[in-house]
Amino acid sequence: MRRVAPVIIAFLSGFVTVISFCFNPDKTVLGGIEPRVLSWVTIVGGFTLLLGVVSITRVNWQAVHRKKEGWPYKFLTLVAMYVMAVPAMLPSSWSPLFGDAEGSIYDWLFMHIDAPMMGTMFAMLAFYIASAAYRAFRARNPESTLLLAAAVLVMLWRVPMGEAFLRLFGENVPGFINTYLMNGVNAAVQRGIVIGAALGAASMSLRIMLGIERTYMGKG
């Protein structure tokens, strides 16, 4: 039953959600089921978030208690999580330090610790992107040469200095790049990626509904 019940729930949830698209919610009962199912998904997602907090706490606390390698970082993870979460969940009527309004503990930690760390992380990521671009944009064959030319044009078009440089060859060059390269070739490729991702999501959803894919139960 532990294997059959999740498959039945997944099949019924997916089947009802798909079928509800075919009916008018103002005239049939099936048409109004989809919002209820989505509300249940939100509720279940809230419980899974709580389960994730419990799991993170248990795993990291065990590492701290047993003094495993890197346990100070795990302890710092627990402290940071609860110091930000607990005051944010308390009502601001108790104290202006509670809640998530400006001047609260959560706001101060986010603006002075979390935001600078995110900025540092993305700043460091830029160097890795530049290194990867240097290795990828090498004119080894016609395809890579075309990729290199397109990347150079896009990078020039996105910065004011590059746009001014492109206008030396004609006032309509930036507009040409925007129309034919970004809204033409690039948009076509993006649509192809979106269609492929949608087909993959539909295929995975069908596998889950039919019980073929059971990785969400810890099964292969």
Using the predicted structure, report yes or no on whether residue 196 has a pLDDT greater than 90: yes
> d(Cα 117, Cα 123) in Å, to the nearest integer?
10
Please check whether residue 110 is in contact with residue 87, taking contact to mean a CB–CB distance below 8 angstroms. Answer: no
Least confident of 44-58, 95-109, 137-151, 178-192: 137-151
Between these two residues, 75 and 4, which has the higher pLDDT value?
A: 75
List own/partner pairs for 49-57 with CB under 8 A and 24 or more apart: 53/81, 53/85, 56/81, 57/81
Residues 6 or more apart in contact with residue 143 via CB below 8 angstroms: none
How many angstroms from the chain centroid is the CA of residue 190? 17
Query: What confidence category does residue 199 fall into, taking pLDDT thresholds of 50, 70 and 90?
Result: very high
Between these two residues, 157 and 188, which has the higher pLDDT value?
A: 188
> d(Cα 172, Cα 12) in Å, to the nearest integer?
56
Q: What is the CA radius of gyration of the chain?
A: 26
pLDDT at 191: 92
User: Which range in 52-56, 99-103, 204-208 is most confidently predicted, on average pLDDT?
Assistant: 52-56
pLDDT at 193: 93
Return the number of other C-beta atoms located less than 10 Å from residue 173's C-beta. Answer: 17
Using the predicted structure, report yes or no on whether residue 14 has a pLDDT greater than 90: no
Query: What confidence category does residue 124 fall into, taking pLDDT thresholds of 50, 70 and 90?
Result: confident
Q: Report which residue type is found at 15.
A: F
The token pair that represents 34 in the structure block: 């989809």
Residue range 72-98: mean pLDDT, rounded? 84
> d(Cα 138, Cα 152) in Å, to the nearest integer?
12
DSSP state of 112: I
Cβ-count burial of 77 within 10 angstroms (0-12 exposed, 13-18 middle, 19+ buried)?
Answer: middle
Between these two residues, 118 and 159, which has the higher pLDDT value?
A: 118
Q: How is the chain split into domains, by residue range?
A: 1-87, 90-125, 137-220
Residue range 189-217: mean pLDDT, rounded? 84
